[in-house]
Structure 1
Amino acid sequence: MLDQKKWGVFLDGSLSDHFMLQNCMVMAEKFQPTDIYIFKHFEKPNIPKLIYEHIPDLHEPEKNYLKSQLMRELINYDFGKPRVHVKILEGSQLSSILNFANKTQLDLLLATVKKNMPLQGEIASKIARKGPCSMMILPDRQIDSFGHIFSPVDFSSYTDLCVKASKSLYQNMDGRTITFHHSYYNADKYLNSVYETPLEVHDAVNKKSLIDQKLYDYYYFKLHHLVAGDTPDELRHEKLSLRALGPQETLGHSIISEIEVANPDIIVLGARGQSKSVAVLLGGTTESVLSLYHDVPILIMRQPGDNKGIIRSLLRKTQ
């Protein structure tokens, strides 16, 4: 979070904009971004394209009015040192937001999701899935601190980003503890499940016990080394959590179960790149969490350069 210098704040024109701006103020004071781009989207009416060919700036009066209105609203909010920019986007909502984030080279995009507005949640999820930068999805309420931070890690290239962001949130947002969780498959994944004699069964039970212990020791070592390094246990504020899965369980279901038990104040996820075409899309676990949680802030960490291809593709389709 500390190196997320350029923030984008998406306002949808609803009453929840107040909570978004309040939350942005609180976090800006803690993290000191250099620039905050506050923007709304203007939905162009469905009128013949011929009109736009003759009058390309047909909607300029409405956009200017929206911008002036937004600037008047912002008088009530003090963001401190960061430079504040006000923008009105037009065109396809998803494409215009992705294009703006890409062109402006945003480091972090903030958006609100409300429980009773599934369409808005769907748009936020699409932005999170296809965006070029990290994203924080905030619930429709004021947030002052993140006491319990929960971060599932998978030792992918995104894990370091999650660890760094979680520790930054802990230090700057009155954190009490961080839970770093890793789910892995148990010995059943590696053993033959068909046995013919009691001796084979006995041997398999012993092997399973040995392998399960080895797997636990291995993943605990990796998680401890990743998170704590050489810091003594008594000085650590991180909690390490491991869960061994049976062959029929899924990683997504396991992590969601752990989140329900942990009841965190914020979830920090890695986008966990999976190559599809020229784009880097969200991993299945992150998708599962996004679809279920609307009252807990979710921070999705991305690497610079993610999704450049998919943004270019979307823009070509909307031109």
Structure 2
Amino acid sequence: MKEPSATTSRAVQLASFGGPEALSIREVPVPQAGPGQIRVRVTAAGLNPMDWFMTSDAETAARFGLSLPCGFGTDYAGAVDQVGDGVREFAVGDRVFGGVLSRAVADYVVVDVAGTIAVGGEAHRTPDGVDDRTASALAIAGCTAAAALAVVNPGPGDTVLVGGAGGGVGVFAVQLARLAGARVIGTGSAASADALRALGAEPVVYGDGLVERVRALAPAGVTAAMDLHGTETALAARELGVPDERITTIAGQIDGITPANGANAAPGALEKIAGLAAAGRLRVPIAATFPVERIRAAVELQAERHVHGKVVIDL
């Protein structure tokens, strides 16, 4: 970890919206925590598809309230190093993790203690037994998976079809559904089969013939589905007789099917997921780590959507 100077620090920013080539490391003033805020010295930042999607063009960025110059990344983990007036929930030295919309890949982030990921950021205590790389991979994917499960509500006796099971959200959704007692069939590439089995899913290759392959695996039928990639799995679930109310999507829209949004995750969902990770009941696969100097290469890898698990930036 490179320590920042007393007055300046590093932040990954975009001078213009676009792909990985628009990302650069800039020297910026060290931010200061105001009333009701904490400042976190970031040690790790987890990447998500939404990070590069939000900043890919000006129109999309505007929908998320982003303007230039713009930071990058949302999930972070580190330690509190400054506490603003009125803050009683955290103290200097506390290990924390959470999300700050499109500004996480930086030496420091300032977080509103009463904020949300989208507005002001949010912070949670990192449990003992969870390292910072793991903690930095929890916020967006964990909340999104929890929201998806809340829509379909899997339990014992259910057979759940999970599309994109090996992706950043999928690794959480598969395990949470298994912990709820459900059988899980997960779509992925042929190369992802072992990774999916390690999570507790029965692998099935996506693409043409998906419905027939799922029928062969589950002749008694599928009872719920979470499409974490697009719409292929959701449409296949319909063809397999799953009612719309037990199907959800996160990246595609289908009339009659309720989409899941991590912003709507139940209070305490993220703490529960962090607790499961601390107890060793939930694995958080880290597919790759990169120093911040290689941010472009990290985003290129993550944007390919073929990594099995999370990509993390070390600061």
| TM above 0.5 | no
Instruction: Give the TM-score normalised by the residue count of structure 1.
Output: 0.29
